[in-house]
Structure 1
């Protein structure tokens, strides 16, 4: 397993460092010179079905390492995995590791993931660690206080159904042309005040 300084030695001879966390987590804080392969359901399914290759998922800056003819080494990390042998066979990281094994001479997982690495070597990470919040795909959506309508564009506002129905907050013309988006189906019945 490469040492921490080896992770920073990109290019020929150095390992390709792959961050398999979400795009938001990667953009917040990641290992220097790492590339992100986002752990989404779509990417997972396309990898499983062979509809996308590792080379297609890797950012253009790192493609030369994937297409190189000399032996290549890869280090993969997620947020906190300590042992790849306990991963579920259908987990994103397990699928990614198996696909990488077919493309590279040596594939290793960073023990303890980014959580352990960043606490031991914060100087070898880039981004804003203070901005990180614990993120989990299994966390429920927690209620948040409504701050009212937020203007996105001159004609587009973001808010809740409660905001749209608030006569002080939203004029009648807005309430007549609102669009409600629900995270799961079946959708609840429309509010009587929004139907014509």
Structure 2
């Protein structure tokens, strides 16, 4: 049925009443348009022209009726905007030591490691796959916490309040429905958790309270990433190497510093016969003693490509393992370069993703902090390993079921790190 258009007038203004016979809805329009335009609309209705099917019609009455018709077809089941309490930076600054508050960082793993509010837990929700699973209720916020210790803290939250933040969001209404912060808050609400949003995110909080923020990454050195220069009378003293001894990550793998590499007695005590030197300038101190050395000459900066050396480093480590020997990876402080090589090696040999390998090394050697450049290379390497794994699975599926078992992935055996 075509819509019925009736015109009427009053002493003050003119109006047109549009009745849609399908939706049974009347739309009364107060207008200042000429009577001839209303007459034209009425004539269109008389000629049985379906003006509701003309969304771009020049007639203002038709466009208004179309808007009304579209709104009547909207799904009335769409939930209202999520109501979320806002926490101000000033308020959070006084509650960081409160054991009844859990702070959740919704940014990427790399952004979190670069800087975060003290005590925050990182939720890996920037990954599209994890976002979809969270949106569909197939996983929970606790499952996406990036550290095992953090997961334990989050799961024991009971009636604690959770304060969520990202980079700079002011309020939930400004975010897309599939934004990580929106999804985390909605999921927490569904779980019955008291949750609020930190106004302005890390950016605003850091502006006022930079001292309450932590960085898991070492501050860059000033001489293009290589070892600090020797102090001069006119310069301040260089920061000392952290007093952390060589750390055993695997039965055959240690990560340490320049001090560890210099100490022959320590190397003998730890039964280390292979040393990988990941610096440009530090010497291979004890070559004359029979210790086998390998140098990977890289600087610790935002330009160096360490990933291109991964395979040669892995071959050196595997040579030591297959000979029943132990190897020390070292750079200047055992923080960035050597830890990056160790993380990559564990990713490959243990078939672990970057975050799991990172936290495994971090739990054993708390001072590690690959620079942002190296973290990006580890992330890229993870994608390469995943692609190789998929290709390997595809090839194995094409092999005969009666063929001999396939070789271990990447040619290295997968061994429990604790054995």
Relative to the length of structure 2, the TM-score reads 0.30
Measured on the aligned residues, the alpha-carbon RMSD in Å equals: 3.0
Deviation at 1:5, TM superposition (A): 2.6
Residues 78-128 of structure 1, C-alpha deviations (whole Å, 9 max, x = no match)? 001011111111222111110011224421111001011111101111115
The unaligned stretches of length 5 or more in structure 2 are 1-86, 221-302, 315-383, 385-419
DSSP-derived class of the 1:7 partner: coil
Tell whether the 8 Å contact from 1:74 to 1:104 is kept in structure 2 after alignment. no
Tell whether the 8 Å contact from 2:142 to 2:154 is kept in structure 1 after alignment. no
DSSP-derived class of the 2:309 partner: strand
Tell whether the 8 Å contact from 1:29 to 1:129 is kept in structure 2 after alignment. no
**Match of 1:164?**
none
**Match of 1:42?**
129
Q: Take 1:104 and 1:122, find their aligned partners in 2: how far apart are those partners?
A: 32
**Match of 1:6?**
95
Deviation at 1:64, TM superposition (A): 4.1
Q: Structure 1 pair 87/43, CA: closer, same or farther in 2 (3 Å)?
A: same
Deviation at 1:15, TM superposition (A): 0.9
Deviation at 1:153, TM superposition (A): 2.1
Q: Structure 1 pair 130/5, CA: closer, same or farther in 2 (3 Å)?
A: farther
Q: Take 1:112 and 1:119, find their aligned partners in 2: how far apart are those partners?
A: 10
**Match of 1:24?**
110
**Match of 2:182?**
94
**Match of 2:194?**
106
Q: Structure 1 pair 103/112, CA: closer, same or farther in 2 (3 Å)?
A: same
1:53 aligned onto 2:211: no
Question: Which one has the bigger helix percentage?
Answer: 2
Matched ranges for 1:45-84 at <5 A: 45-58=132-145, 59-62=147-150, 63-69=152-158, 71-84=159-172
Higher relative contact order structure (alpha carbons within 8 Å, sequence separation ≥ 6): 1
Q: Take 2:156 and 2:130, find their aligned partners in 1: how far apart are those partners?
A: 20
